[in-house]
Amino acid sequence: MSLLSVAVGGAVLAGWTIDNATLKSLYPGLVTMKPNDALGLILTGGALWLMRREPVPRSRRRWGIFCALGAGLIGLTALSEYAFGWDLGIDQLLFRESHDVIWTSQPGRMAPTSAVNFLLLGTALALLDRPRRHWLVETLTLAVVFVSLFAYLAHLYALELLHGTGYYTHMAVHTAVAFCLLCAGILTSRPDRGFMGIVASATAGGVMARRLLPATILAPALLAWLGFVGQRFGYYGTVFGLALLALATIIALSILVLWSANSLYRVDVERARTEAALRSHRERLQLMVDGAKDYAMLMLDAEGLVQSWNPGAERIEGYGEEEIVGQHFSRFYVREDSIAAKPRRHLTFAAAQGAMEDEGWRLRKDGSRFWANTILTALRDEDGRLRGFALLMRDMTDRMRIEEKLKDANAELSHREEALRTALSDATKTQQALESAQLQVVQTEKMESVGRLAAGVAHEVKNPLAIIQSGIDYLGDRNDGDPVRKEVLNEMEYAVTRADRIIGGLLDFSMPGTLEPTYEDLNAVIDRALLLVKHELDRSRISVARAMTPDLPPVWIDERKMEQVFLNVFLNAIQAMPHGGTMSVKTWVRPSAETGLPIGSRSSKVVRHMGRVVVTEVDDTGTGIPENLLRKVFEPFFTTKPTKKGTGLGLTVAKAIVEMHGGMISLSNRARGGVQVLVTLRTKGAADDASQAIAADR
Amino acid sequence: MPRKRLLLIDDEEPFTRLLKLNLEESGEYEVRVENEGLQAVAAACEFEPDLILLDVIMPDADGGEVAALLKTHEKLRNVPIVFLTAAVSKQELSGPSGTIGGRVFVAKPVNKRDLVEIIERALGAPS
C-alpha cells in the first residue's frame, strides 16, 4: 500500500512534468492533484514503507520519522496559508498552475482537507513505532479515512453542496483514494494492537467487526448514491427520495443486525456449552486435588509465592490455606537448603527446563522434617510467558525409612550370607580334615592289624619253613647223585627263601623300627641289593645296565634299610618283566632346591635345602602301570602282579623307609614303555640340615 | 675226637627231630632235644652241653627266662647259647644270624650249612 501510494505520487509528479491532464486529474474536468499533494504522498508512503514491520531498525525509524514530519510540515504550511491568508510561495514551487483550473481557490495549493490529512498522517506516522501512543495513531488515521471518504463521496455524488463554495480547493479523486490506501496500510501494519487487534482477532467481536464494518461503510454510501441518481433522473422528489433512503438504510442495517445477532447467538451458545464443560472439568480437577490427601498440590506464581493450597498440602505441611497463601514456598525448605539458595535454584531450573524433580528433607509448620519427593512444573501462557509453577509434593518419609530398613536388612543378609559361606567353607575344610584324619586312623588301624598279623604270621609260618628247610637239608645229605632230585630240592629251598623274605618284608612294613644312619656310598648299597636279586635276574633273563656316577658324595642312611628299599624296587622291576628285558640303574647328583624334599618321619613338614641330593633312577622295560592306578602304587596291599606273586607291600615299605630318611621316591611310566622309579636322598651337608630340622621339629 | 654236645630246646617237634638228624649226620655233634622250656634246665645240667640252641617263643616259657635260669647253674654259666627263633627276620639280623644286645640270634628258617657255620663260630668264641 505504501509503495502504491508512492507510485501514485510519482505518477502525478510525472504528469505535472509532462503536463498530462489524465495523470494530474484522472479525467478531464475533475480537480487536479497538486504537486505538493504528490510530494506529501511520496513522503508518507515512504515513511510507512520504512516502518512497515516491527521491530523497526533505528536508522529506518529515523528516516521514517523524517519523511512523516516532512509530510506533516507540508500539510501545516498549506493550512496556515488558508488560515492566515498567507502565500508562502510553496504552492507554485515545483510547478506552475494556471488560474482557470476548476475547484481550485489558489493555483497549485492543495485542498484544505488534504492539508489536514497530511498533518494528521504525518503525526500518526511519526508516532507509529510508539506502542503506547497507538490509540492516537489509530484515531488520527481514522480521521484521515473519514475526511478522504467525504471527499470521495463528494466526487461520487458530484454535489455542488458538498464541493464547497469555491473558496477552498477540492481534494482530487486519486488523492482521496491514495489517502485511504495509506490509512489501510498504517492500520494493518500493526494488526495486533488497538481496535485492529480486535478486528483481526478470532473473537466474536472480531468476527462481527469484520462482517459489519464493510457493510456499514458501503451500504449507506451506495443507498445514498442510488437515491441521488433517482432524484436526478426525476423518478421522485427530494422528500420521497429521503424517505426511501431512510427506509433502505433501516432495512439494510436491520438485516445486518439480525445476521450478526444470529452469529453472536450461536457463538454464545457454543461458549456456554464450552464453559459448562470447562466448569465440570474444573470441578472434577478440584475434587481430585482436594481428594489427593497424600499429595500436596500447590500453585505458585512466577516469584514462588503460594497461590493455592489443597487439603493434602495442609495435611502434609500443617499450614491452613489462609496462613500460607501469599507466602513464599521457600519456607517448606530446611534451613541448610534455604541458605544454599535451593528454592531459587529449583525455580530457575524448572523455568529453564520446564520441570524439575527433587528428593530431600522438607519442613513442616511445627518444625519437624519429612522426606519429600517434589515435582516443580513451570506454567506458561500461549505466548510462552511464565505464569507460575505447579508444585506437587509427596511425603516419602515412611517409604524412605522402609527403604533404609530394607537396605540395612539387605546388608545384614549379605553379612549373614558371607558368614554362612565362611562357615560352610570352614565346615568343608573341617570335613576334609576329618576325612583325612579318618583315613589316617583307618590306615593306622590297618597298619596296626597288619603289624599284629605280621608278627603272628612270621612266627607261625617261619617254624614250618624251618621244618621244610631242615627236611631239604636232610634229603640233600642223602642224595644219591640224582640230578633231578637235586634240582627239586634247590627249587624247594628257593621257595623257602622267598617265603622267608616275604615274611621279613611284612615285619619290616609293620615295624619299620628306628634308623641307624651312617654316611654311606650309595653306589655300594645299590650293588649289594643287586647281588641279592642276581638269582631272580638270571632266572628272568634280565640284563642290568649300570650307569653309576663314581665318587658320589656320601649319603646319611641306614644302609640295611636302604638295601631293603632297592631290593624291593628291583624285585618290582623284575616281576614287571617276566619274559626278560633290561633293568637300568643310574645315579647322579643335583642341587636339592629342585626337589623340595620332605624330611624326618612320614608326616614331617617340607623343608627346602640348598645342598645337593643323590638321585637313583631304576628303569624297566616292562608293560608299565595303567595311569589311573599310578597314584595307588604306594598304598599297602596294592599289586598289579598275579595272585601269590607279590605281597603288595614292597613299594609301601620302600616309601616308608625313604621318607624316614627325609628322601623322596616317585614312580611314573616311561614314554618308551616300562616304569621309572626315582629315589632321591640327601648328601652329607643337606642331611645335617635335615637332622637339625628334625631335632627342631621334635 | 669227642663229638660236641648240643642241647636243642624248641617246642616244634618235627623241626627238632629233623635238625637232630641233620646235625648228627656228620658225626661231629651229639644232639639232645628238649621240647619243653622248663624241663630244659634239668636236662642241661644232666647233659652238660657244649652249646645250647634255644627257641625264644615256647608255650611254657620264654627263651629269655630259660637262658636266665640256665645261667644260674655254675656248670652251665659258660655254655654259649644261640637263640634259634622265628621271632626275628634275616632283614633284622642282616643275614642268617646276628647279634642283638650281645646275644647271638639265628633266624628261622636256616639251612644246615649256615647253621653249622654259626655253631662253629659260637663254639670257637669265648662266651
pLDDT at A102: 62
**Would you tell me which residues 483-512 of chain A have a C-beta closer than 8 angstroms to some C-beta of chain B?**
493, 496, 500-501, 503-505, 507-508
- In 3-state terms, what secondary structure has residue A395? strand
Kindly identify which residue of chain B lies nearest to residue A454, measuring between CA atoms. B87
Q: What is the pLDDT of residue A343?
A: 92
Q: Closest partner residue to B89 among A466, A477, A507, by Cβ?
A: A507
**Which chain B residues are Cβ-neighbours of A560 within 8 angstroms?**
91, 94
Q: How far apart are CA B39 and CA A285, in angstroms?
A: 129
Judge whether B45 and B70 are in contact, CB under 8 Å.
no
List the Cα angle A635/A637/A638 in 5-degree steps: 60
Q: Mark yes or no for CB contact B12/A496 under 8 Å.
A: no
Between A310-314, A330-334, A677-681, B106-110, the lowest mean confidence (pLDDT) is in A310-314
Residue type, A510: S
pLDDT digits (tens, 9 = 90+) for A362-403: 999 999 999 999 999 999 988 889 999 999 998 888 888 898
pLDDT band at A406 (very low <50, low <70, confident <90, very high): very high
Q: How far apart are CA A326 and CA B32, in angstroms?
A: 139
Distances (CA, A) of A142 to A186, A201, A213, A627: 10, 19, 13, 119
Q: Supply the mean pLDDT for chain A.
A: 82
Q: What is the pLDDT of residue A608?
A: 42
Note the helical H segments in A311-396. 311-317, 321-324, 335-339, 342-353
**Is the bond preceding A28 in cis, omega lying within 30 degrees of 0?**
no
Banded pLDDT at B50 (limits 50, 70, 90): very high
Name, in order, each residue with C-beta under 8 angstroms of A315's C-beta and a sequence gap of 6 or more. Answer: A293, A296
pLDDT at A509: 63
Contact list, B87 vs chain A (CB under 8 Å): 458-459
Q: Report chain A residues whose CB lies below 8 A from the CB of B111.
A: 469, 472-473, 493
Out of A459, A470, A501, the one facing B22 most closely (by C-beta) is: A470
Option in B12, B21, B86 nearest A458 (CB): B86
CB pair distance less than 8 Å for B18 and A470: yes
The minimum CA-CA distance between A504 and chain B, rounded to whole Å, is 5
CA distance A133 to A48: 16
- A470-521 pLDDT per residue, tens: 999 998 888 788 888 888 898 899 889 888 877 777 776 666 566 778 888 9
The B-side interface with A (CB below 8 A) comprises 12, 14-15, 18-19, 21-22, 25, 57, 86-87, 89-92, 94, 107-112
CA distance B75 to chain A (A): 31
Q: Which of A471, A496, A560 sits opposite B18 (nearest CB)?
A: A471
Task: Return the C-alpha cell found at A42.
Answer: 511520496
With an 8 Å Cβ cutoff, are A466 and B12 in contact? yes
Instruction: Judge: B111–A493 Cβ closer than 8 Å, yes or no.
Output: yes
Which helix (DSSP H) or strand (DSSP E) does residue A542 occupy? strand A542-548
List the single best residue of A470, A528, A566 to mutate versus B (max B Cβ within 10 A): A470
Indicate the burial class of A382 (C-beta count within 10 angstroms; 0-12, 13-18, 19 or more). exposed
CB contact at 8 A, A377 and A349: no
CA distances from A163 to A121, A290, B54 (A): 23, 73, 183
Q: Looking at residue A32, what is its pLDDT?
A: 80
pLDDT band at B34 (very low <50, low <70, confident <90, very high): very high
Check residue A585 and give its pLDDT. Answer: 95
Best A457, A465, A472, A473 residue to mutate vs chain B (most B CBs within 10 Å)? A473
Q: How far is A507 from chain B (nearest CA, A)?
A: 8
Torsion of CA A690, A692, A694, A695, to 10 degrees: 170
Please indicate if any CB of chain B lies within 8 Å of the CB of A469: yes
ipTM score: 0.88
Distances (CA, A) of A686 to A139, A514, A615: 125, 20, 14
Which pLDDT value is given to residue A221?
A: 81
Q: What pLDDT is attached to residue A289?
A: 80
Where residue A468 falls among pLDDT bands split at 50, 70, 90?
very high
Chain B residues whose beta carbon lies within 8 Å of the beta carbon of residue A514: none
Which of A460, A461, A463, A525 is the best mutation test for B, with the most CBs of B within 10 A? A463
- Note the residue count of chain B: 127
Q: Is the peptide bond before A55 cis (omega within 30 degrees of 0)?
A: yes
pLDDT tens profile A180-236: 888 989 888 888 888 888 888 888 788 888 888 888 888 888 888 888 778 878 888
Query: Number of CB pairs < 8 Å for A and B?
Result: 77
Q: What is the pLDDT of residue A440?
A: 60
pTM of the model: 0.40
Residue A696 has pLDDT above 60, yes or no: no
| 8 Å CB contact of A459 and B109 | no
Residue A391 is predicted with a pLDDT of 92
Cell of A377: 512444573
Q: Is the pLDDT of residue A452 over 70?
A: no
Q: Is A478 exposed, middle or buried (0-12, 13-18, 19+ CB in 10 A)?
A: exposed
Nearest to A513 by CA among A521, A522, A504: A504
pLDDT of residue A101: 64
- Which whole number is the average pLDDT over A290-307? 87
Say how far apart CA B17 and CA B28 lie, in whole Å: 17
Quick check: A449 pLDDT over 60? yes
Q: What is the pLDDT of residues A410-441, one digit of tens each?
A: 999 999 999 999 999 988 888 888 887 777 66
Range of lowest pLDDT (A332-341, B17-26, B94-103): B94-103
Q: Do residue B111 and residue A501 have CB atoms under 8 angstroms apart?
A: no
Chain B contact present for A560, CB below 8 A = yes
Buried b (16+ CB within 10 A) or exposed e, B81-118: bbbbbbbbbbbbbeebbbeeeeebbbbbbbbbebbbeb
Mean pLDDT of A16-33: 79
Q: Is the pLDDT of residue A663 over 90?
A: no
DSSP-derived 3-state class of residue A150? helix
Residue A29 pLDDT greater than 80, yes or no: no
Average pLDDT score over residue span B93-115? 85
- Min Cα distance A497 → chain B (Å) is 8
CB contact under 8 A, B15 and A474: no
B51 pLDDT band, cuts 50/70/90, is very high
Task: Please tell me the least confidently modeled range out of A84-88, A179-183, A633-637, B82-86.
Answer: A633-637
Q: What is the chain B residue with the closest CA to A506?
A: B89
A456 touches chain B (CB under 8 A): no
Which sign, positive or negative, has the C-alpha torsion A226, A229, A234, A237? positive
